Amino acid sequence: MSAAWRVPIPTGAYGREAAGCPIKAPVYVVARRYSHRVPGQIDMPPDQFVILDGVRFHYLDWGGDGEPVLFLAGLGCTAHVFAELAPHLSDRFRVLALTRRGHGLTDQVQSGYALVDAAEDARRLLDAMSIERAHVVGHSMGGGEASALAARHPGRIGRIVYLDGAYDWADRPTSEWSEEPAIPDRFASYGAYVEAVYSLFADDIRGPAFDAMLSTSVYIEADGSVVDKFSAAAAAPFVEALKAFRHPYSDIAVPALAMFALGDQWQGAEGTWRVACRDRFLDETADARVLEIRASHYLFIDRRDDVLTAVREFLT
């Protein structure tokens, strides 16, 4: 276990003492500068499919005999994005990941874009797998879906882990969203598509997880050109749903761990908003704790071992 996981952050470092609002639960930090460790061989299970609410959903199942853990991906991502983390939990948990509607190998849809709709899809997957109760790990937008699931079906959730996903996007102070597509929808080759996607990220997260995810996110034409399934038009209703979302923390009774990525992008109004999101999570969640990690938004890739340690400890 990383020693940094055990080091409390002084509340004054975030200005809460001056405001007369002491943090009600410990906040821990992993403050080392991050760098991506290229993984070795990973366990990529076969793609599987299930019909939920008339929609063909894609999911991955890493197996395991312990308590079920369901991973929910962020906006524009698929279940494959967890492929560098999930296999390392299957020795202790039954590990699954769901690809939301309109993403990757799951059917394209004309409805069901709201986070509460995705939460119901996750509940339907649990029903289909005869899973009565599961821990839920949500990245980014998937964190909002985890909150909605826990609030709507409290008896179905054991614990929640937010992977840089405990943000109230409705309160974000800027209209510029990094999640919105900023590349063309069509490319001359798959290689050109991959390079364009990776160019959007300030940190190098290349590896088998992203490679697997990107390969399922395009249509390949006869001439070798590719079309991005998650085009600007396809993404728009999901983005609008995300921008309207605030977490229903006061309705969440289960223990929850929120991991926040501390990156150079959190400056000015954005930095103030991030701290406000963290503090609201602590203030309104009945059993809350926070871990802040010097990492990119994909902290479970570039700081996989630290995230893995924290998840295993929290869920066990």
Q: How far apart are CA 138 and CA 153, in angstroms?
A: 16
What percent of the chain is predicted at pLDDT more than 70?
A: 83
pLDDT of residue 113: 97
Which of these ranges, 107-111, 140-144, 160-164, 200-204, has the smallest mean pLDDT? 200-204
For the question of whether the overall pTM of this predicted structure is more than 0.85, the answer is: yes
Would you give the DSSP letter of residue 33? P
Q: In this predicted model, what pLDDT tens digit does every residue of 251-308 receive, in sequence order? A: 999 999 999 998 766 678 888 999 999 999 999 999 999 999 999 899 999 899 999 9
Confidence of residue 81 (pLDDT cuts 50, 70, 90): very high
Q: How far apart are CA 72 and CA 79, in angstroms?
A: 7
Mean pLDDT of 144-155: 98
Which of these ranges, 7-16, 224-233, 260-269, 285-294, has the smallest mean pLDDT? 7-16
Higher pLDDT, 208 or 123: 123
Helix extents (H) in the chain: 115-128, 141-152, 190-198, 208-215, 232-243, 268-284, 299-302, 304-315
Q: Which of 160-171 are b and which e, b meaning 16 or more Cβ less than 10 Å from the residue's Cβ? A: bbbbbbbbbbee
Mean pLDDT of 25-49: 66
pLDDT of residue 180: 47
Angle at the Cα of 245 (from 29 to 252), degrees rounded to 5? 65
What is the amino acid identity at position 3? A
The structural domains of the chain, with segments of one domain joined by +, span 3-175+244-315
The tokens of 176 are what? Answer: 């510029």
The HSE-up count of residue 117 (CA atoms within 13 Å, CB side) is 15
What is the amino acid identity at position 22? P
Compute the mean pLDDT over every residue in the chain, rounded to the nearest whole number.
86
Number of H helices, E strands in the chain: 8, 12
Q: How far apart are CA 106 and CA 100, in angstroms?
A: 7
Angle at the Cα of 202 (from 43 to 142), degrees rounded to 5? 55
Residue 37 predicted with pLDDT over 80: no
pLDDT of residue 2: 24
The tokens of 159 are what? Answer: 């614990």
- Residue 13's Cβ-count burial label (10 Å; 0-12, 13-18, 19+) is exposed
Q: In this predicted model, what pLDDT tens digit does every residue of 109-123 receive, in sequence order? A: 999 999 999 999 999
Q: In this predicted model, what pLDDT tens digit does every residue of 48-77 receive, in sequence order? A: 999 999 999 999 999 999 999 999 999 999
Confidence of residue 174 (pLDDT cuts 50, 70, 90): confident
pLDDT of residue 198: 87
Which of these ranges, 1-5, 137-141, 185-189, has the smallest mean pLDDT? 1-5
pLDDT of residue 11: 30
Q: Output the furthest CA–CA distance in the chain (Å, rounded).
A: 64
Determine the topology of domain 3-175+244-315 in CATH: Rossmann fold (3.40.50)
Strand bridging mode 256-262 / 157-163: parallel
pLDDT of residue 173: 87
